[in-house]
Amino acid sequence: GAGVSQSPSNKVTEKGKDVELRCDPISGHTALYWYRQSLGQGLEFLIYFQGNSAPDKSGLPSDRFSAERTGGSVSTLTIQRTQQEDSAVYLCASSLVPGGGAFSYNSPLHFGNGTRLTVT
Amino acid sequence: KQEVTQIPAALSVPEGENLVLNCSFTDSAIYNLQWFRQDPGKGLTSLLLIQSSQREQTSGRLNASLDKSSGRSTLYIAASQPGDSATYLCAVRRNTGNQFYFGTGTSLTVIP
């Protein structure tokens, strides 16, 4: 079946503009993660959605960042008033179950190819 | 907080060699550990997942081991091939919280 799909693959924007990044997870996957990967840095956790539970927003770096997940499927990450330090690859991942908890056995993360964001 | 370290940062080997990549983590209270590969301009592809109760997992030429008490995991690649050239990342999921903690990866080059 189809993997995790992210769009756009590349986005160039001017400083101060808002951007929206989209993630379409694998059908049936209840857990969805957003990570950010900057050059020479490890992956930085941003936000986590699981089913209908309240999202874990503990990784969002500022209030300019927000994310939604509609209908338990597609997710949108929005960055308002972009800054140059927001330039990075934004990766989305989904899994069948969260990868933890009593019912997890083999629930690997499946990643999309990411959106490369460049803020000029 | 969980710190994940991967050494070396880069590795270059001739084709056919067996090799070991290392991953260490500071908090042994983990739920599972995953190894990924990342090709340039691409997302991460899951290679192996080891639950905390397991000691190793194997897939083809890959074998991952886990020593939770010492905070270490290794990824063994047998008979390396040029197609194995990529960045390899490990990630751990703690018993508490939702996120996976990633290392910064080992960039592997297999020379034909």
pLDDT in tens, A60-118: 999 999 999 988 799 999 999 999 999 999 999 999 875 544 444 458 899 999 999 99
Torsion of CA B73, B78, B84, B85, to 10 degrees: 70
pLDDT attached to residue A79: 98
**Hey, are the CB atoms on B102 and A42 less than 8 Å from each other?**
yes
At residue B84 the predicted structure's pLDDT band, cuts being 50, 70 and 90, is very high
**Hey, are the CB atoms on A42 and B105 less than 8 Å from each other?**
yes
User: Which residues does chain B have within 8 Å of residue A50's beta carbon, measured at their own beta carbons?
Assistant: 98
What residues in chain A have their Cβ under 8 A from chain B's Cβ atoms? 4, 6, 33, 35, 40-43, 45, 48, 50, 56, 58-59, 91, 93, 98-100, 104-114
pLDDT attached to residue B88: 98
As a whole number of angstroms, the distance between CA B11 and CA B88 comes to 11
- The per-residue DSSP string of B45-66 comes to EEEEEEETT-SEEEETTEEEEE
Kindly report the backbone phi and psi dihedral angles of residue B80, in degrees, each rounded to the nearest multiple of 5, phi listed first.
Answer: -60, 150
pLDDT attached to residue B94: 86
As a whole number of angstroms, the distance between CA B82 and CA A89 comes to 26
Task: Summarize pLDDT for B54-82 with one digit per residue, the tens.
Answer: 999 999 999 999 999 999 999 999 999 99
User: Which residues does chain B have within 8 Å of residue A93's beta carbon, measured at their own beta carbons?
Assistant: 43-44
**Hey, are the CB atoms on B46 and A108 less than 8 Å from each other?**
yes
Give the chain A residue nearest B54 (alpha carbons): A105
At residue A41 the predicted structure's pLDDT band, cuts being 50, 70 and 90, is confident
Give the chain A residue nearest B4 (alpha carbons): A42
Q: Which of B32, B36, B42 lies closest to A113 in CB terms?
A: B42
